[in-house]
Amino acid sequence: MPTKTFIDRSKAKFVSPWRLVSFAMFVMISSAVFGQQSDSPQGVRGPAMDESSPMLNAWDGPYGGVPPWDKVEVTRFEAAFEVALVRATADVQEIANQEARPTIENTILALDSAGAALERLDTLFSVQTGNLNLGPIPTIERSVSPKLSEFADSIVQNPKLFSRIEAIYKDPTLQSETAVRRRLVEDRYQSFIRQGANLSDGDKAKLTEINSRLATLFTDFNQNVLEDEKRYVTWIDDPSDLAGLPESTIAAMASAAKERQESAGKWAVTNTRSSIDPFLTYSDNRLLREQVWRNFYTRCDHGDKFDNKPLVTEILSLRMRRAKLLGYPTHAAWRMQRTMAASPENAMALMMRVWPKAVARVREEVADMQRIADMEAVEKRRPKIKIEPWDYRYYAEKVRKEKYDLDFNEVEPYLQLDKLVDGMIWVASELFDLRFVPSSDFPVFHPDVRTWKVINPKQEVVGLFYLDPYAREGKRSGAWMTEYRPQHRQPKVSIPIVSNNSNFVKSADGQPVLISWDDATTLFHEFGHALHGLLSNVDYKAQAGTRVARDFVEFPSQVFEHWLSTEPVLKKFAVHYQTGQSLPEDLVKRILKAKQFNQGFATVEYLSSAIMDMRLHTETADRIDPAEYEQRLLSELGMPSELPMRHRLPHFLHLFSSDSYSAGYYSYLWSDALTADAAEAFEEAPGRYYDRQLADRLLTTVLSVGDTIDPADSYRRFRGRDVDTNALLRKRGFPVD
């Protein structure tokens, strides 16, 4: 997962995922986000080249240079990409055409250093597309993506370059290299093979055509989702329609209306998960809940120009053709070559082990909710209802209150965003001796962004951390980690620069931002990804930080979620926004007691999407109707009618805005099996979650090693054995086989 990694929270209660690619990723060619193509981009004619653009320059400033957000000029991106692609192409050709005997230094590592201007520019541009997707950015992305695809393929399909890599791979002296360097070479060689380096010229041309088209379709899919999220807003102008909503939610809705320049006295439920979830959980107005739910779950499914179903059909068809061209039976078989699961069958086996248990739990949860709904109908003398998807969260909260005497409305006043940010940083200090010092030494891309220097016990700055917490127009929904620069020591020391990006809704002026328990969990999850990048300690950037197998990358982030509910964090940082009092101990106990509550919903919501992903990408049909397929498979699975998949196909960004999570959405469950087992290790440790010996082992065996070793070996070194997958069932409160 080389430079400019985007990682999203998308497991049982996780938000959508999406990753873009920079030059280093093009070289690794492990995620194929933009696709791959042959030859150089020469001959593609766009705007005049812009040699003078400051966005092409090496980053200056402190700490080895920082992203020059203050020098970004949106209108110059396209012309700057023309220059960067020409320079990167020249770098690759120089490596491929050299006369010197192929070595790791002059070929493998040289590729890591090549195309620096393109890598820097792509980092700046990707932040624009994800966080500030306004004005000309969508048009520029549609123009640039196919060119990046062409460039990616030009690397893989360069016969001279591949012959050098192959020579290094087959050289007997490779066995005398360190295990890390052998793995670096082996991964590079195998990635080129997987991407078609050995294809005939005719098949390479076909691959080029497929990948170029996919690059365009991915961009169109993403832009359509952004557009539908902007277009569908639920407006409320009657205060009685706010019944049941917490004050913080109402304030956030008023703020959202104000941002859209609506007059006072209106409230807006925007079409993003961070806005709709609290509304569906607390609103007493069932008709409005249904409207909000339908707006969100029918995104890009309206039969208009933003309808993504035709794009899904074409993407699936192209992926199937590409897999066969590359010698694989299905897209899933191709994508899973470098994963812990190794095959679609192994991934499906774990999912189908959990699925019936989760569905059985949903039926229990629905029965509890239906009983309360029936009682309300009698008490309030109104017609009975059947629990529908827009009712699930609402009545689940009533069941939680009944069973555990826990109302998360009581908890939210204690969950201040700023205080919880302090809490997650405090945990990093306690576990890993890191200090996060707020800094204004470097520019940011938006006034909302906060920055910190990360300092080790030797008082050295070892990383930079950016936090962009708030929703805004032009920002994609969800939460994710981005890496602006990876850590590495060769050919020179480079400290990591990472960011967390979220979509919390701002409250009224001067008021603290209060977030839900689920959102607080997301906050800690994404910070776990950030720590994975910041604590990296490797020689080569191709192996740094989060550049690990897709089904291992979520392990560190999912583990870090557990620190939110630890007693020190709740006592120190979960403080009431008005009184300053800590979360009462009795309330803490009730929260911990209810940890397994609603796990049927959480698991089925996620797992239905994961199974859908794997089944779609093991199909061999040339054309698939997404609407028919979705309905048929859910029926076959026995999907409970009371809840939807977390991501329906027309807006499933993980799968169709890139290749990166395709046939990989299962990875959250796979990683959570590791997470559950690791959490039990902390539960059993003398110091529990603050046991320094165990935290040190997590650091030295997982967080710092990146992809220098096989992830299965990494986990064995941490746990002392293979994973016990029964821990996953125990964590969710499901019966163990």
Residue 358 belongs to a domain: yes
Q: Residue 306 above 80 pLDDT?
A: yes
Q: Residue 690 above 80 pLDDT?
A: yes
Residue 195 belongs to a domain: yes
Domain end call among 180, 211, 226: 226
Q: What is the rounded distance in angstroms from the CA atom of residue 277 to the CA atom of residue 525?
A: 18
Where is 481: in which H helix or E strand?
Answer: strand 480-485
pLDDT at 682: 98
Give how far the C-alpha of residue 736 lies from the chain's centroid of Cα atoms, to the nearest Å: 30
In this structure, the answer to whether residues 507 and 610 fall within a common structural domain is no
Q: What is the rounded distance in angstroms from the CA atom of residue 376 to the CA atom of residue 642?
A: 18
State the pLDDT confidence band at 61, using cuts at 50, 70 and 90.
very high
In this structure, the answer to whether residues 46 and 186 fall within a common structural domain is yes
Residue 116 belongs to a domain: yes
The C-alpha torsion from 231 through 132 and 662 to 88, rounded to 10°, is 140
Tokens encoding 444 = 């940011």
In this structure, the answer to whether residues 414 and 441 fall within a common structural domain is yes
Of 225, 284, 291, nearest in space to 249 by CA = 284
Tracing tokens 């792509």 back to the chain, one arrives at 122
Is residue 707 packed enough to be buried (19+ CB in 10 Å), middle (13-18) or exposed (0-12)? Answer: buried
pLDDT in tens, 634-670: 999 999 999 999 999 999 999 999 998 999 999 999 9
pLDDT at 5: 38
Q: Residue 206 above 70 pLDDT?
A: yes
Residue 74: which residues within 8 A CB-CB, separation 6 or more?
128, 135, 136, 137, 140
Q: What is the rounded distance in angstroms from the CA atom of residue 154 to the CA atom of residue 408?
A: 54
pLDDT at 6: 40
pLDDT at 23: 34
State the pLDDT confidence band at 51, using cuts at 50, 70 and 90.
confident
Write phi, then psi, for 499 (nearest 5 degrees).
Answer: -135, 155
In this structure, the answer to whether residues 63 and 209 fall within a common structural domain is yes
- Using a pLDDT cut of 90, give the percent of the chain over it: 86
Quick one: average pLDDT of 311-322? 98
Q: What is the rounded distance in angstroms from the CA atom of residue 527 to the CA atom of residue 521?
A: 10
Alpha helices in 171-303 (DSSP H): 179-194, 201-231, 247-259, 273-282, 286-297
pLDDT at 263: 64
Is residue 261 packed enough to be buried (19+ CB in 10 Å), middle (13-18) or exposed (0-12)? Answer: exposed
In this structure, the answer to whether residues 400 and 411 fall within a common structural domain is no
Residue 585 belongs to a domain: no
Tracing tokens 């009533």 back to the chain, one arrives at 398
pLDDT at 4: 37
Q: What is the rounded distance in angstroms from the CA atom of residue 335 to the CA atom of residue 591?
A: 39
Q: How far is CA 167 from CA 193, 327, 410, 450, 473, in A?
A: 14, 23, 65, 47, 50
In this structure, the answer to whether residues 564 and 636 fall within a common structural domain is no
Give the range of the structural domain holding residue 168, as residue numbers without chain letter. 32-226
Residue 579 belongs to a domain: no
pLDDT in tens, 432-471: 999 999 999 899 999 999 999 999 999 999 999 999 999 9
Assign residue 598 the CATH number of its domain: 1.10.1370.10
Where is 483: in which H helix or E strand?
Answer: strand 480-485
Go through 470-503 and write b for each residue having 16 or more CB atoms within 10 A of its CB, e for each that does not: bbeebbbbbbbbbbbbbbbeeeeebbbbbbbbbb
pLDDT at 47: 55
pLDDT at 259: 84
In this structure, the answer to whether residues 128 and 100 fall within a common structural domain is yes
Residue 581 belongs to a domain: no
Q: What is the rounded distance in angstroms from the CA atom of residue 558 to the CA atom of residue 672?
A: 7
Q: Is the peptide bond before 62 cis (omega within 30 degrees of 0)?
A: no
pLDDT in tens, 15-49: 222 222 233 333 333 333 323 223 333 333 445 67
Of 215, 218, 269, nearest in space to 241 by CA = 269
In this structure, the answer to whether residues 436 and 479 fall within a common structural domain is yes
Whether 443 contacts 437, CB under 8 Å: no
State the pLDDT confidence band at 309, using cuts at 50, 70 and 90.
very high
526 catalytic? Reply is yes
In this structure, the answer to whether residues 486 and 498 fall within a common structural domain is yes
Q: How far is CA 451 from CA 441, 444, 454, 632, in A?
A: 9, 8, 10, 48
Provide the sign of the torsion angle of the four alpha carbons 392, 398, 401, 406, taken in this order: positive
Quick one: average pLDDT of 617-636? 96
In DSSP terms, 374 is beta-bridged to: none
Residue 586: which residues within 8 A CB-CB, separation 6 or more?
none
Q: Residue 67 above 50 pLDDT?
A: yes
In this structure, the answer to whether residues 323 and 416 fall within a common structural domain is no
Assign residue 430 the CATH number of its domain: 1.10.1370.40
Domain end call among 181, 204, 226: 226
Q: Residue 594 above 90 pLDDT?
A: yes
pLDDT in tens, 480-529: 999 999 999 999 999 999 999 999 988 877 789 999 999 999 999 999 99
Domain end call among 274, 297, 320: 297
pLDDT at 52: 86
In this structure, the answer to whether residues 551 and 425 fall within a common structural domain is yes
Of 78, 483, 526, 554, the catalytic one is: 526
Instruction: Select the more confidently predicted residue: 517 or 7.
Output: 517
What's the whole-number average pLDDT of the chain?
A: 91
In this structure, the answer to whether residues 558 and 466 fall within a common structural domain is yes
Q: Residue 2 above 60 pLDDT?
A: no
pLDDT in tens, 94-133: 999 999 999 999 999 999 999 999 999 999 999 999 999 9
Tracing tokens 């699975």 back to the chain, one arrives at 637
In DSSP terms, 236 is beta-bridged to: 267
Lowest mean pLDDT among 252-256, 400-404, 726-730: 252-256
Residue 725 belongs to a domain: yes
Q: How many structural domains are present in the chain?
A: 4
Q: Residue 220 above 90 pLDDT?
A: yes
Residue 484 belongs to a domain: yes
Which phi-psi region, left, alpha or beta, contains residue 450 (left: φ > 0; alpha: ψ -120 to 50)? beta
Task: Read off the amino acid at residue 395.
Answer: Y
pLDDT at 264: 66
